[in-house]
């Protein structure tokens, strides 16, 4: 479905397309966004992090509700930056985790109420996944929430990497962005393990191969 709508199929690796956004936006109903949107509409003055290539749509809508928005494109920065610090004795890459976190998620001690994480954890190198989740936990206020999408399959048209744009309704709009290979698929259990120690986790059913989750700090 996505391949036909975008008129483009995923090729299994990074493409030659430039960083940014290309092509049409495809609407997708999102139960998690519908719930989070109600909070954003009734609690002004929240501080948010939106993960992904800069979306003027997201900035304009969220600031119109009285919130502060900070941007961080974790996947692009991880996959294009010089964060490999060598290899271990088995030939596995050693990553400069602290350097990555300090550059990409350094907000000068600010604490956040909402993180729009989208599908970032599906595309990050494995060594960065748990540290990013831990850093977000430390960077959020009590009761803060993370909206995250997780692919449940490693193959199919749904694994194309998209930028998500919020709307005033119960849909988000997907748009193709710079492509990087998907690194992993998640099960309900693996999501629960990754966010072990957080305050709560609510999962939403979806018709495609993407699981939606709201995690509470």
Task: Kindly report the backbone phi and psi dihedral angles of residue 127, in degrees, each rounded to the nearest multiple of 5, phi listed first.
Answer: -65, -20
Does residue 129 carry a pLDDT above 50? yes
What per-residue confidence (pLDDT) applies to 10?
Answer: 40
How far, CA to CA in Å, does 88 sit from each of 92, 94, 180?
Answer: 5, 6, 24
Who's near 142: CB < 8 A, 6+ residues apart? 199, 217
**Mean local confidence (pLDDT), 162-178:** 97
Average pLDDT over residues 44-59: 97
* Region label for 54, one of left (φ > 0), alpha (ψ between -120 and 50) or beta (otherwise): beta
Residue 144: pLDDT band (50, 70, 90) is: very high
pLDDT confidence of residue 149: 97
The domains of the chain, with CATH numbers, are 2-216 (3.40.50.150)
Task: Please write the tens of the pLDDT for every residue from 63-107.
Answer: 999 999 999 999 999 999 889 888 787 778 889 999 999 999 998
Q: Are strands 140-151 and 210-216 parallel, antiparallel or unpaired?
A: antiparallel
Structure tokens at 74: 């974790």
Confidence of residue 204 (pLDDT cuts 50, 70, 90): very high
């Amino acid at each position: 479905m996505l391949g036909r709508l975008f008129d483009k199929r995923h090729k299994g690796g990074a493409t030659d397309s430039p960083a940014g956004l290309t092509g049409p936006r495809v609407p997708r109903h999102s139960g998690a966004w519908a719930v989070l949107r109600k909070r954003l509409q009734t609690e002004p003055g929240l501080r948010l992090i939106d993960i992904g290539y800069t979306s003027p749509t997201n900035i304009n809508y969220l600031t119109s509700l009285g919130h502060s928005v900070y941007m961080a494109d974790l996947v692009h920065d991880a996959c294009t930056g010089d964060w490999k610090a060598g290899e271990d004795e088995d030939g596995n890459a050693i990553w400069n985790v602290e350097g990555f976190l300090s550059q990409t998620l350094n907000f000068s001690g600010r604490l956040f109420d909402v993180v729009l994480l989208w599908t970032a954890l599906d595309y990050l190198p494995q060594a960065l996944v748990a540290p990013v989740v831990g850093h977000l936990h430390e960077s959020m206020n009590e009761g803060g929430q993370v909206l995250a999408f997780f692919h449940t399959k490693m193959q199919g048209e749904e694994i194309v990497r998209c930028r998500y744009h919020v709307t005033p309704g119960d849909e988000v709009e997907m748009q193709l962005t710079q492509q990087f290979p998907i690194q992993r698929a998640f099960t309900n259990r693996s999501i629960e393990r990754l966010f072990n120690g957080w305050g709560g986790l609510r999962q939403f059913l979806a018709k495609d191969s993407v699981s939606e989750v709201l995690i509470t700090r």
